[in-house]
Structure 1
Amino acid sequence: MEAKEGLRTVVGLMSGTSMDGIDAALLRTDGRDRVEALDFLTIPYDDGFRARLRGCLGQTGLGRSDRDGPVAEVERDLTDAHADAVHRLLDKAGVAAAEVELIGFHGHTIHHDPDRRITRQIGDGARLAAATGIAVVDDFRSADVCAGGQGAPLVPLFHRALAHGLPRPLAVLNIGGVANVSWIGPEAAKGEAEVVACDTGPGNALIDDWVLRHGLGRFDAGGALAAAGRVDAAALATLMAHPYFGRPAPKSLDRDAFDPAPVAALSPQDGAATLTAFTAESVARVVSHLPSPPVRWLVCGGGRHNATLMAMLADRLGVPVEPADLVGWDGDALEAQAFGYLAVRSRLGLPLSLPATTGVPAPMRGGLFHPVA
């Protein structure tokens, strides 16, 4: 593959907070304002591994040096699955491992409580480097959280790099297990933030868990189940009474921060409709915490495939709400691409987060480097 001046060929890997599988992206980037997407694939988890991974959620007691126990076994299998994803991606793209400089490996978040300065992503970067023959950067969030930041979201600087030439203020909304927004404003005056970010609230996680609990699959395909139901206004009001929604940005969430008890007695259809409305309403609520209302929302992640959710968002936000694909981005690949981009920033010693994106006291570097032994 012909190298381009200043650009590095990298792989970004994302598992994140969803239970779907691994997103793997191949890209070239300078870690600043140039990004070229090359290839992408998604590898779903099988049901058995998904159940094992779900059993790790909330576990905080395993230190990085401790490689025993059931969480460590899942971590090893998760890492090996990511190595397989790298090999399959490179085979698909016709690219040799020797042509790839770096892997950005997010791992899977099993617990996130930044107020207690805890964030935990499982995944063994050294093992991944050995299995692929490519150097790895992982552990992107810890430095930010240890410094008093929220550790999330980390994608806003990548969104800013992509957004050149688009009308601003622009909102980029990622709907994965948790939903997060990057507000990208006009070029900032001195002392003003050009990028503001936060987790808005639930994304797909509560909806997915609801559908799974009722034996109706792993997710609400296209939002069809929610479309067949009615929103329970009382249950929605109870959900929206959570104190998180009154907090200003930046702020972040754990996947399981919200108790779905208010919808427990509803039918599968009405529960899905109410939880979908909960995601949409929480996004709308964040607008008052942004410097100015966005003129457009570009949506990435799995949630953009949910037509019912997209319609609810458009109704509540009152401005264009569109899939990010309409501006030439791959809405499924963006988060994986972002961690390839952040891996390059890490190696260049550039910040991964800012006070206005995570609440960290100063622009914060991060990431842990694992060379090939």
Structure 2
Amino acid sequence: MLQFELLQTDGHARRGRLTLNHGVVETPVFMPVGTYGTVKGVLPSSLEEMGAQIILGNTFHLWLRPGIDVLNQFGGLHRFEGWNKPILTDSGGFQVWSLGEMRKISEEGVRFASPVNGDKLFLTPETSMQIQRALNSDIVMQFDECTPYETKGHLTTEREARVSMELSLRWAKRCLDEFNRNENPNALFGIVQGGMFEHLREESLNALVDLDLPGYAIGGVSVGEPKPEMQRIVAHTPHRLPANKPRYLMGVGTPEDLVEGVAAGVDMFDCVMPTRNARNAHLFTRFGDVRLRNSRFRTDERPVDETCTCHTCKHFSRAYLHHLERCGEMLAPMLASIHNLHYYVNLMREVREALDAGTFPQFVAQFKADRARGTT
């Protein structure tokens, strides 16, 4: 089940509400990434406390471990990982792309050796739908080929991007057929591909819209291309998707990327950046970024961000977090992850409030000014 209400607009920016089998999601929304059935180092209760509404799981990795048999035993991912709100699962296409030379793509699907134990595996659109049915994710992503920015040492050509995009379209139709055959009660999203070529993006978009799917994603960005190239595609694509369906920008990005994405018409975002950067002591704040390993924080009694209400900022100083980092304590990335995820989730809450109030342009201007100030 999926219902989407468009509540407010400001230019291309949208304020919406998404109703799914496991709950309601207010949009625009940031979705923390839980690749292996866990958002790294963060308890589900902490995610709820910070206001996370929906999280991700990864079909590819959960297929390998723990396996479909275990997930079927638990009736899906929700009970298995102790999360009762909505879950979106990606199809495995990006992970297959990241295997590089270890995989062989054909019309039927992708053959590759398991990165876990070397077993020979075959992932097809049908298999991806079957795995995601076992996961019982509220939003299911089609299996696609993620078109690279570079192919074998050269920039991907228009012809190469077209071949990849058209394969993803054929796989989308197979996904839809298998999704319907399995009587999946959740929602299937298509993924717009086409590389860095606007006309291919439009061809992909139009063909997917003809399938009348419940929602659509923009894939194949943040795959090594320069930032201006990503911004060009993001500015071009979202507002061309149906206004009455949710729009999801996959794997993006920085706080600035999220705000620009909202302005371009995106409703949903995910990215590993908050937790990955946290594990490297790189924290996001309203006034720029903090690198906690810097010795200047050794005696700093302030919280990471004095405007932040997360558990980390309410209870701990920069000096303490710096100390944990220097000692290699596992609590350091845990507290840093809580802060970064809270920052992203709260940023989207503030965006929604600005859209509700009709002050989104002013919010964007203040956001950019604050971030440009840098931390002290």
TM-score (norm: length of structure 1):
0.31
Bigger RCO (CA 8 Å, 6+ sep)? 1
TM-score (norm: length of structure 2):
0.31
Structure with the higher helix share, 1 or 2: 2
